[in-house]
């Protein structure tokens, strides 16, 4: 069977699209996953969101995603009006540990993931995750905040950074929270889901937010198959420092990773 890197190389070559990755040296990585649980998502899509994370961690995560022998420390957060650390910092070293971690993305196993609706408090989620990275005992080479959301910020309290508590102020506060993260060597990446963030206004916010955080964003049309494919691609990209040089490359990565995962499931 082709390895993941071989499969991806074939996809890129066939499409005549180039990408570059950092040298395959093992690193210590902190990854804070921030998951939107606001009212605009709805319980069905929210549970699809959790299921996508569970599926990716269960699907030979280290074999498919972590390709350089990295030491990975992961935590997970749910945010809406309030922000909760649902899963504490957990070191993952192999596929079995990743699968066990994935099982926690279920409210029956992790009550903090219970859907409670509320507004979108991106600034406080970003700020709290940054503080957690800075204050834990992990000595990492790379720290990443990875947020999935379906809407622009609508609340910022208590982390408004002096901005108003309306939607405009909440956007500005979120950008300032991302700047705070970047100033402390924490990269902020995002996945925007649905029509609100696929709009010009939504993409403008994601661009400003992730640029301030020294990161990037990707888009998904829904929280179903499209979200899982985009999330899988984004995790591979940020963990392995893959730089995309053409607009279509992310889509090709998504197709390749999703196809490889499907092949593995069929053969399992």
- Per-residue model confidence as pLDDT tens digits over 36-69: 999 999 999 999 999 999 999 999 999 989 877 7
Q: Would you say residue 121 lies in a domain?
A: yes
Q: Would you say residue 196 lies in a domain?
A: yes
Q: Would you say residue 3 lies in a domain?
A: no
Q: Taking the model in full, what pTM does it have? A: 0.83
Averaged pLDDT score across all residues of the chain: 85
Q: Would you say residue 1 lies in a domain?
A: no
Q: Would you say residue 17 lies in a domain?
A: no
CATH number at residue 199: 3.40.50.410
Q: Would you say residue 105 lies in a domain?
A: yes
249: number of Cβ within 10 Å: 20
- Say which residue, 255 or 247, is predicted with more confidence: 255
pLDDT band per the 50, 70, 90 thresholds, residue 243? low
pLDDT band per the 50, 70, 90 thresholds, residue 24? low
The residue range of the domain holding 189 is: 26-267
- For residue 126, pLDDT over 70 is answered with yes
Q: What percent of the chain has pLDDT over 70?
A: 81
For residue 78, the cross-strand partners are 35, 84
Domains in the chain, number: 1
| Average pLDDT of the segment spanning 111-136 | 96
- CB-neighbour burial class of residue 64 (10 A; exposed 0-12, middle 13-18, buried 19+): buried
Q: Would you say residue 106 lies in a domain?
A: yes
Crossing angle of helices 225-240 and 43-58, rounded to 10°: 50
Q: Which two tokens stand for residue 218?
A: 């990707």
């Amino acid at each position: 069977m082709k390895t993941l890197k071989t499969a991806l190389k074939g996809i890129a070559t066939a499409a005549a699209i180039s990408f570059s990755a950092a040298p395959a040296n093992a690193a210590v990585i902190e990854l804070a996953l921030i998951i939107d649980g606001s009212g605009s998502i709805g319980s069905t899509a929210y549970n699809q969101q959790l299921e996508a994370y569970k599926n990716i961690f269960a699907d030979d995560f280290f074999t498919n995603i972590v390709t350089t022998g990295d030491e990975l420390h992961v935590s997970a957060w749910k945010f809406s009006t309030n922000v909760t650390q649902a899963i504490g910092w957990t070191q993952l070293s192999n596929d079995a540990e990743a699968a066990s971690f994935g099982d926690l993305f279920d409210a029956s196993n992790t009550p903090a993931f219970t859907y409670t609706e509320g507004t979108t408090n991106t600034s406080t989620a970003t700020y709290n995750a940054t503080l957690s990275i800075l204050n834990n005992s992990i000595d990492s080479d790379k720290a990443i905040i990875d947020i999935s959301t379906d809407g622009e910020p609508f609340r910022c309290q208590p982390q408004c950074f002096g901005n108003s508590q309306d939607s405009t102020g909440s956007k500005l506060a979120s950008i300032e929270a991302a700047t705070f993260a970047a100033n402390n060597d924490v990269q902020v990446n995002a996945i925007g889901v649905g029509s609100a963030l696929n709009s010009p206004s939504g993409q403008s916010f994601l661009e400003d937010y992730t640029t301030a955080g020294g990161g990037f964003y990707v888009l998904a049309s829904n929280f179903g198959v499209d979200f899982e494919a985009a999330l899988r691609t984004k995790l591979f990209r940020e963990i392995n420092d893959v730089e995309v040089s053409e607009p279509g490359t992310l889509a090709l990565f998504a197709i390749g990773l999703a196809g490889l995962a499907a092949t593995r499931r069929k053969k399992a």
